[in-house]
Amino acid sequence: MLNRLKLTGILSAAALVLVGCGTSGSNESAVSEDGIKVVTTFYPMYDFAKNVVGDNGEVSVLLDAGQESHGYEPTPQDIAAIADADVFVYNSDEMETWVPSVLKSIESSDVIVVEAAENIALFELEEAAAAEEEHSDEEGETAHSVDPHVWLDPVYAQEEVNAILTGVLEADEANKESYEANATAFNEKLAELDAAYQTAFEAAENRTFVVQHAAFGYIARRYELTEVAVSDVSSDAEPNPAKLAELQQFMIDNQITTVYYSDSASSKTAQTLAEATGASLEVLSPLEGITDEDQEAGKDYLSVMEENLTALKKVIQ
Ligand SMILES: [Zn+2]
């Protein structure tokens, strides 16, 4: 295995040298005949990569819609798939905390690794240290020290697309024009999405929203809104009774009549809060997974972001 991988590395290096010297007239690519093989971690990375790759190959995703994206543990099959891919795309060491050790274990693979949020300054969480101490004895939870949810910001999403494009070009220079055209077209749609959010919230007087999972900090910062979250950025864990009572009072004092929750996550706390304050429940998706059913029905990153905008407009107005 090791030898084969090393040999592949040497061969691609040789191919690069040939192309570089201009002695090779062919337009051959380093990827297999079936096209580029891209493995991604969770839904937004999959959607962004798919938009860049187009029909030049195959993009797959490791996490299913229902899987907890914050506390995920990779399977041996996941690790083999990453090692075998031309390009592997993940959001950040802060989101997929399991990635660095997996990459270390497959060092001999020549997979090109894209950390999509690498060039984005992630927001530090003031409460992270305290939360970590509080939750450190709970199993299956990953406490983040920064907010990893950059993909929900239509401007940062474009930077993630650009990072994916760079990795894909490194693997398959031969189809450069196609990848670049795909990325440009998708980034134009993301720019339109950003404009729609800006326009919708520009003149709003109510700018505060209450949500179960603290996934919308980047949207809040981008459009000058205030996110009040029931749980933290890492999970949907229930807050303690004191925090819940505080939230309840906050909603009453500020006449907040809507609680947002994620359709794929537990909504128990959001429900409790809604019942206690007479507020209604609305879905706001952190896009950490879209079921196969919904994908077949045509849902994707852009359409869910538009649904989120429609849902937010009920409060932010
Ligand atoms: Zn999240």
Instruction: Give the pLDDT confidence score for residue 29 in this predicted structure.
Output: 57
CA of 72 to the centre of ligand 1 (A): 12
Q: Is residue 139 part of a domain?
A: no
Going from the C-alpha of 236 to that of each of 2, 122, 141, 249, 267, the distances in angstroms are 42, 21, 10, 20, 8
According to DSSP, residue 285 is labeled -
Q: 248 and 123: one domain?
A: no
Number of domains in the chain: 2
Task: Report CA(148)–ligand 1 centroid distance (Å).
Answer: 8
Gap from CA of 272 to ligand 1 centroid (Å)? 21
Contact 91, 72 (CB under 8 A): no
Could you tell me the distance, in angstroms and rounded to a whole number, from the CA of residue 117 to the centre of ligand 1?
Answer: 15
Which domain does 228 fall in, by range?
203-313
Q: What separation in Å is there between the alpha carbon of 236 and the centre of ligand 1?
A: 8
Can you give the pLDDT at residue 17? 42
CB 294 within 8 Å of CB 266: no
pLDDT in the model for residue 196: 98
Q: What's the CA-to-centroid distance between 174 and ligand 1, angstroms? A: 36
Element (H, E) at 249: helix 241-253
Cα(95) to centroid(ligand 1), Å: 8
Q: In whole angstroms, what is the distance from residue 175 CA to residue 177 CA?
A: 6
Going from the Cα of 177 to the center of ligand 1, the distance in angstroms, rounded, reads 34
Q: How much distance in Å is there from the Cα of 149 to the middle of ligand 1?
A: 6
- Whether residue 115 is found in the same domain as residue 263: no
| Ligand 1 center–CA 110 separation, angstroms | 30
Question: What is the rounded (10 degree) CA torsion for 92, 180, 37, 93?
Answer: 0
Give the pLDDT score at 12. 47
Q: Are residues 89 and 179 in the same domain?
A: yes
Residues 65 and 116 in one domain: yes
* 178 and 295 inside one domain: no
pLDDT tens, residue order, the chain (317 aa): 344 444 444 444 444 444 444 333 344 457 898 999 999 999 999 999 999 999 999 999 999 887 888 889 999 999 999 999 999 999 999 999 999 999 999 999 999 999 999 999 999 987 644 554 444 444 445 578 899 999 999 999 999 999 999 999 999 999 999 999 999 999 999 999 999 999 999 999 999 999 998 999 999 999 999 999 988 777 666 778 888 899 999 999 999 999 999 875 567 888 888 999 999 999 999 999 999 999 999 999 999 999 999 999 999 99
pLDDT attached to residue 254: 92
pTM, two decimals, is 0.86
Is there a contact between 122 and 148 (Cβ–Cβ < 8 Å)?
Answer: yes
Q: How far is the CA of 265 from the centre of ligand 1 (A)?
A: 10
Distance 22 CA to ligand 1 centre (A): 47
